[in-house]
Amino acid sequence: MHFVPTMGGLHQGHANLISAASRHKADEAKTLVSVFVNPLQFGPDEDFARYPRTFEDDCELAEQCGASAIWCPDEEQIYPGGMAESWRVQAPKSLQSGLCGSTRPGHFDGVVTVVCRLLALAKPHQLFLGEKDWQQLTILRRMVLDLGLAVRVRSVPTVRDGDGLASSSRNRYLNAQQRQQGVLFAQVLRDASSAFLHRATPLDLGQLRFRLEEGGLSLEYVEVVDPWLLQPSKPNEASLTLLAAAVRCGSTRLIDHAFLMTRSPLVAIDGPAGAGKSTVTRAFAKRLGLVYLDTGAMYRAVTWLVLEQGVDPADSAAVEVVLNDLEVELEPLQQGVQAVRVNGHEVTDAIRDPRVTASVSAVAAHACVRAAMTAQQQRMGEAGGLVAEGRDIGTAVFPHAELKVFLTATPKERARRRALDLAARGHEVPALPELEAQIVERDRLDSTREVAPLLQADDAIELISDGMSIEQVINALEDLFRRRVAEEVWPTPV
């Protein structure tokens, strides 16, 4: 079941959430929408009493968007025994000390408590949340992760009205003049993001504050933070940051945000041989609409040229000469397959030749080859929008990738998979302990070699795929990607 928790007062933003939840019908899931105005997340001076309660309209909209049921629990069902005596969940301090948490003490504890309770009652497989409340979304993702709750969190981009104002239940409080101020709010953030993208001007928070205040808005906060850690960050050209703000238009509080980036996202997947990196990276790239940078094919392409020119693959000086004016091109074809060209020659099939396979490790171990390929891969990644897989992608090639994963599996599991693969291809299958010993030895060589050793970047997330199907690994990668990269920044292709 897919679940969309709301506090009612449904608007176009909710409509998109419910439609997204209902569209993911691959598993025939039903979509449940809840409406509960949660007293626990409102401060004493906040708008709990006047919060819009429009149940009839909400039912109509939810149904139009494909909801299977709408659930309107009462306070007793959510907080049995009364609010004062209720169990509470507390969000970590670091996640709620900044942004909205700084001016709404206790708000996020109220949110996590109610969502935890709603999840326990509804038991959904997927939870749909809006990216507009980015801090709430991140805190709830963390709750699901840290408490090990069995639900996948899906996010849906902020919806904006025609004038650019982000849809919110509270927009109905605004009069015409305040609405204009709200539109200015959205515009100022968008301008900052676009100037940053085009490297037109560095972000000037003072100037940004001035524009908002000059427009009659009273500022609660304007902050730049890391989108996952929610900790203050400097806007930087290396990777994605979040510019978030809250203002008051009269007595109405509005929040909005924009992402700061100078390129599309990058994903680096490293890991030992036999962990299934290329299969899952290819499929992950396809699912997210990222270009798959097949670095293995690039090293094969150099090796092909080395052999073609009759050069000894072990002769570093001779190999270095081959690198002069070398240009490897990868052109995405269908199903994640790529055409490979070396200095204009099509070598897609030729690089799979057993002669190339036998020499690629020797060629790829030369420092000059690593340097040339790394430089080329970095050029290919300048605009972002790609995922690369290898041994040193997160450490040497794209150290500023938004997501770095170290994909691995135990030697025992890799031996099991290798045996299945050999059998499927009609080869003789050595005994499992023998295969396992070969894998352990290969890992040792790969991680101790002098040039480009296999290393896990300090900030890479280790994903151990033992006991996981390929689909589960791809889902896990997708979830990791979405923790850092909003749909607003890089939408999943439909």
Active site residues: 14
Could you say which DSSP state residue 166 is in?
B
Q: Rounded to an integer, what distance in angstroms lies between the CA atom of residue 491 and that of residue 489?
A: 6
Whether 250 and 218 have beta carbons less than 8 Å apart is answered as no
DSSP per-residue string spanning 372-418: HHHHHHHHHTTT--EEEEESSIIIII-TT-SEEEEEE--HHHHHHHH
Q: Rounded to an integer, what distance in angstroms lies between the CA atom of residue 234 and that of residue 236?
A: 6
Residue from 32, 65, 70, 114 in contact with ligand PAF (CB under 6 A): 114
Q: How many residues bind ligand PAF (CB under 6 A)?
A: 10
Residue 157 vs 336, nearer CB to ligand PAF: 157
- Give the orientation angle of helix 354-364 with respect to helix 295-308, to 10 degrees: 100
Residue from 2, 3, 6, 277 in contact with ligand PAF (CB under 6 A): 6
Q: Rounded to an integer, what distance in angstroms lies between the CA atom of residue 334 and that of residue 312?
A: 35
**CB of 113: closest distance to ligand PAF in angstroms?**
9
Residue 136 vs 241, nearer CB to ligand PAF: 136
Q: Tell me how far CA of residue 385 lies from CA of 63, 292, 367, 382, in angstroms.
A: 36, 9, 27, 9
Residue 159 vs 409, nearer CB to ligand PAF: 159
* Cβ atoms within 10 Å of 146's Cβ, excluding its own: 10
Residue 13 vs 313, nearer CB to ligand PAF: 13
Q: Is 14 helix (H, G, I), strand (E, B) or coil?
A: helix
Contact range with ligand PAF by CB under 6 A, out of 4-12, 71-79, 412-420, 486-494: 4-12
Residue 6 vs 395, nearer CB to ligand PAF: 6
Decide if residue 95 touches ligand PAF (CB under 6 A). no
Decide if residue 100 touches ligand PAF (CB under 6 A). no
**CB of 120: closest distance to ligand PAF in angstroms?**
14
**CB of 256: closest distance to ligand PAF in angstroms?**
15
Of residues 143-202, those binding ligand PAF (CB under 6 A): none
Decide if residue 133 touches ligand PAF (CB under 6 A). yes
Backbone phi and psi for residue 92, each to the nearest 5 degrees, phi listed first: -60, 145
Phi-psi region of 167 (alpha: psi -120 to 50; beta: other; left: phi over 0): beta
Contact range with ligand PAF by CB under 6 A, out of 3-11, 60-68, 222-230, 245-253: 3-11
Site string for ligand PAF, 35-64 (x = CB under 6 A): ---x--x-----------------------
Decide if residue 5 touches ligand PAF (CB under 6 A). yes
Q: Where do contacts with ligand PAF occur on this chain (CB under 6 A)?
A: 5-7, 38, 41, 111, 114-115, 133, 136
